[in-house]
Structure 1
């Protein structure tokens, strides 16, 4: 297969996508999906769109699959935009969508009827083309059979956890290389099937589950994030009652499902055919994985089903992953390794089998590089370091994208030597361990302290919930500073948080702790803290929270914000 759309030459009449709608499943075959895509391709051509980027503001999953694949079939470049439901207000989403439209410079904006109004407002603000409203299927023209291929296959906007969202330019060769690598890593066969509740505008949901399933012509059971939040048991039932074999989710998803599903809902389930549970997009918590495994073990679930992985939009998606069926290794390392120096491993364990007492101190392997990719660890000067030494992760290979459109600055950098990811980690026995973002760290006594490490430790404190806290690190007025925000109704957690910060940092680092209402922390469309925005809000005195420890200043910063 030379292109992700080659399946359109002979789409399956028996396999397809099960769309979750109003508590039940609606099945559409790949032949029907292909026909829908061809009609949308013809519609775009009929509107005079023959080349360039098509920005997609399509919330309905079934409409999105047709719009995305139809854009590809027409030889155009799809650029999905996040749903407004992930934003705090209509205005904040309009500003976000307008910024993306300005960066994308689309030839067309395609929206479904639900989002037509907000798409129009964003297009006006960005001075982009007036949106085309996606017609109902019955109103679309006849299928267009002439398939074309754009050199730029996808403009994937990053979530912007460390800065302004940027459009990653993914070529047709990048896209098929990564899909092939994903299918090869997972050992996908025609008998496999996949479930997903991940948003289709995010690379993990778009490429890791949706597009990989379509290319493999494997059955896909597709929910929305809101379906999952409302009833996580529906996701588990895909595997325990329908025999689905593959899924992907961030650490949060496994924690949420394990904590919400009731014992009576699990009665009669059988997870023995579930063979891959990818865990990516955020740090893997060994205690959560152990809890999930223990909860489902009586019903046939195996800890070796977990396959932690590492990837990013700048590498199309997948960089590395633990082989299915091989229980991932976990290690406890000494805090704050120095760049270029050996990492001190204090203890070893197995993911899903061992439950660490202090999970914040443990890291999970993210496996070996997938087909066509190479990973090395480099020092501050860009020189490779030996296995077992700490540094920045640099990636080369067939899936590394062509660069950015729009903003070009950020923690990740495209260089002639490879993609400098801006992530810190190390290799151990050829397997990758990821510690956190270099831009989200401070040097304390010569050692790196990462915001993600502090957040992982914070959520072990009673009263501090995962997804309800954030850490921003940086410097102001020549002094290092750590800002901690906890979204909570009270401050009973304050003494424990203060003790943790004194232990992990030292007197040279100024600390500020704030309590805020739920939803106060600015987050990306995939739920990650927007640390630079948070840092700026607090520095400018604009953050809607109460300082419960430390002193907040409101002088605008001109110094580094991590």
Structure 2
């Protein structure tokens, strides 16, 4: 039976993250909590623990005077210090913050509108800087007009005495985290203060953090990895954190590594694509200015962790002092607050990479590949590490709802104090997903929808249930196919390939369609034919598969979630409706 239960770890005395902030403000009021690099290069603002407590209390008093305790409040703010202040002010006032992506001009607003209506928010918080964009959004999302608007900037600075504010308890909602919705409609995960504090303890233990830890991040704060990993956890530890806007990293990834180097960060990370982005966009001549020798926890999560990416990053930045034992592949999800599996190996070992037999994997079994077999016969899987402390992991057969045998692929089920007990306003999903139970077992699990197995006490994630493609009885994980294609030609954009199943004939036989984004407009039809032919040859070699269709499209065609994950379902619908157009070549370049 595939199950792992991690031992418990020590806890602090505080029941909420707000109490932790107040302790740090009392004991180390002048210590820098957060510094912000607005352009990614130069420090534009900073706040100490004492200032943060005073300023959030001032805003909390304003909110408390006009909003009912327990009400949901929408945070419509770009990532920055104003966002952090608004988050804590809501907690201080006994309100429940709902963080969302503030859409750029002329970008879709359907997700925002759905969250506004679903969450039942009564008010919103923004800043003077973001207010013009919010006012324009009201035209596209009329539901925003009904919300009372509060500005972070207008609260009176400094400590204010004489007004009692409610103190939330461990069982109260800390915030609602809307999932990114890569395979379904976004869900509002209710994260309690107890869930949050439990996960802080788990992260500290798994990452081996202490009072000397320093953070540096760029992840969006409305996303769980950015909010909990890069904002709330550094605050929990009482240490400094250097932050920059996501766009600053995307435009020039050197800014992130340069900030790690300048400020001596020991913990920094992101999804797999962030490391790919650094490899492809940072010039060799720029590496000599970096000192990455102090980087102890280079975490990678939120999407499949690729062994090839880890190797390429470690090779490129070795001369900057990067130690590959700093890599910390991890696994988590909003329903588990954030972290569920992963552990530091710094100074001891590099991440575990298992080369498994491709044919066995397609049959739902994990078996090591024959070392004598060719490259196409094996698949590299990176271990996501052991369960976090207090975390129980079962591998379950979705068809029988029984635990899988050792080495069998099944759905990952989790239980622990960090696991949310409900979705906001969604009793049906709460029961089916967050209250999953094994036969004869009263313990409550979250059925994650992810597929994986346990190997020597560590979790291996192989894909999503809903992204599984079954062709002639073989189970092909879309993520493996997409990874192979995305790296097969310089014209292809890495991490922007989507594979999905369609009905190939009247008999109902399924086949595969692949949509791949180009990094630029193709120079000629010949370049497109060469790129597609090379990819199809690799697919045939590695998967013994001939796709029904493969389409090269312009950048931005493939829909993604707010965290960058591919949205397969709407892309498949657009393809079947004939809405996916091949990328045109440059004028006068056909042939």
User: Is the 1:7–1:215 contact (alpha carbons within 8 Å) kept by the matching residues of 2?
Assistant: yes
User: Is the 1:520–1:545 contact (alpha carbons within 8 Å) kept by the matching residues of 2?
Assistant: no
Match of 1:363 among 374, 381, 389: 381
Q: Indicate the residue corresponding to 1:210 in structure 2.
A: 231
Structure 2: give runs of 5+ residues left out of the alignment.
1-13, 438-444, 523-527, 586-591
Match of 1:90 among 102, 106, 126: 106
Structure 1: give runs of 5+ residues left out of the alignment.
349-355, 549-562
Q: Relative to 1, partners in 2 of residues 1:397 and 1:390: Cα closer, same or farther, differing over 3 Å?
A: same
Q: Indicate the residue corresponding to 2:415 in structure 1.
A: 396
User: Is the 2:361–2:367 contact (alpha carbons within 8 Å) kept by the matching residues of 1?
Assistant: no
Q: Secondary structure at the match of 1:271?
A: coil
Q: Offset of 1:512 from its aligned partner?
A: 2.3
Q: Offset of 1:129 from its aligned partner?
A: 3.1
Q: Offset of 1:234 from its aligned partner?
A: 2.1
Q: Relative to 1, partners in 2 of residues 1:192 and 1:91: Cα closer, same or farther, differing over 3 Å?
A: closer
Q: Say yes or no: does 1:537 pair with 2:560.
A: no
| Separation in structure 2 between the aligned mates of residue 483 and residue 533 of structure 1, nearest angstrom | 14
Match of 1:430 among 457, 460, 464: 457
Q: Indicate the residue corresponding to 1:353 in structure 2.
A: none
| Separation in structure 1 between the aligned mates of residue 49 and residue 376 of structure 2, nearest angstrom | 46
| Separation in structure 2 between the aligned mates of residue 160 and residue 122 of structure 1, nearest angstrom | 21
Q: Offset of 1:511 from its aligned partner?
A: 1.9
State the TM-score, normalizing by the size of structure 2. 0.84
Q: Secondary structure at the match of 1:527?
A: coil
Q: Relative to 1, partners in 2 of residues 1:424 and 1:48: Cα closer, same or farther, differing over 3 Å?
A: closer
Q: Indicate the residue corresponding to 1:334 in structure 2.
A: 357
Q: Which has the higher strand share?
A: 1
Mean alpha-carbon deviation: is it higher for 216-225 or for 257-266?
257-266
| Separation in structure 1 between the aligned mates of residue 155 and residue 93 of structure 2, nearest angstrom | 19
| Separation in structure 2 between the aligned mates of residue 76 and residue 360 of structure 1, nearest angstrom | 51
Q: Indicate the residue corresponding to 2:121 in structure 1.
A: 106
Match of 2:496 among 445, 459, 468: 468
Q: Say yes or no: does 1:71 pair with 2:94.
A: no
Q: Secondary structure at the match of 2:219?
A: coil
Q: Secondary structure at the match of 1:493?
A: helix
| Separation in structure 1 between the aligned mates of residue 74 and residue 18 of structure 2, nearest angstrom | 19
Q: Secondary structure at the match of 2:549?
A: strand
State the TM-score, normalizing by the size of structure 1. 0.88
Q: Offset of 1:381 from its aligned partner?
A: 1.0
Q: Indicate the residue corresponding to 1:378 in structure 2.
A: 396
Q: Relative to 1, partners in 2 of residues 1:515 and 1:131: Cα closer, same or farther, differing over 3 Å?
A: farther
Cα deviations by residue, 1:431-485 (Å, 9 ceiling, x for unpaired): 0010100110122343311111111111221132213322223547633242211
Matches within 5 A, 1:135-150: 135-137=152-154, 143=160, 146-149=165-168
Q: Relative to 1, partners in 2 of residues 1:429 and 1:242: Cα closer, same or farther, differing over 3 Å?
A: same
Q: Secondary structure at the match of 1:404?
A: coil
User: Is the 1:243–1:273 contact (alpha carbons within 8 Å) kept by the matching residues of 2?
Assistant: yes
Q: Say yes or no: does 1:453 pair with 2:480.
A: yes
Matches within 5 A, 1:146-295: 146-149=165-168, 151-295=172-316
| Separation in structure 2 between the aligned mates of residue 465 and residue 142 of structure 1, nearest angstrom | 51
Q: Relative to 1, partners in 2 of residues 1:9 and 1:282: Cα closer, same or farther, differing over 3 Å?
A: same
User: Is the 1:119–1:131 contact (alpha carbons within 8 Å) kept by the matching residues of 2?
Assistant: no
Equivalences, count: 535
Q: Offset of 1:198 from its aligned partner?
A: 0.4
Q: Secondary structure at the match of 1:199?
A: coil
Q: Relative to 1, partners in 2 of residues 1:409 and 1:448: Cα closer, same or farther, differing over 3 Å?
A: farther
Match of 1:516 among 553, 558, 568: 553
Q: Indicate the residue corresponding to 1:560 in structure 2.
A: none
Q: Offset of 1:123 from its aligned partner?
A: 5.0
| Separation in structure 2 between the aligned mates of residue 265 and residue 340 of structure 1, nearest angstrom | 46
Q: Relative to 1, partners in 2 of residues 1:458 and 1:145: Cα closer, same or farther, differing over 3 Å?
A: farther
Q: Indicate the residue corresponding to 1:6 in structure 2.
A: 19
Cα RMSD of the aligned pairs, angstroms, is 2.8
